[in-house]
Amino acid sequence: MVAEFVADYARMIVSHPEDIKIDVKQSDDFAEITVFANQADVGKLIGKEGKMIGAIKTVISGCKAKDGLSYRINVEPKS
């Protein structure tokens, strides 16, 4: 659910939505969501001074109250 939200939100922000790929690695304590994007769109996802990715992290931090799982988000260029 959270990974789908991040993917859909990322597709709305970037210029190349077809290049967005999500990888989720889950452990007992947290889930790590890695967003792979076109090299030209990585900066858009991170935003000035990290404000865009920070806003995404803030939104999904509310999910911790519901499912008890912490989330980490990383943005990487698609290889």
pLDDT per position as a tens digit, 23-71: 999 988 889 999 999 999 999 999 999 999 999 998 888 877 677 788 8
Sole residue written with tokens 């911790």: 64
Distance separating alpha carbons of residues 49 and 21, to the nearest angstrom: 23
Helix (H) / strand (E) element for 37: namely strand 30-37
Domains, in order of start, for the chain? 2-77 (3.30.300.20)
Assign 3-state DSSP to the chain and report helix, strand, coil percentages, each to 5: 55, 30, 20
Reported pTM = 0.86
Distance separating alpha carbons of residues 70 and 28, to the nearest angstrom: 10
Q: What is the pLDDT of residue 29?
A: 84
Q: What is the pLDDT of residue 78?
A: 86
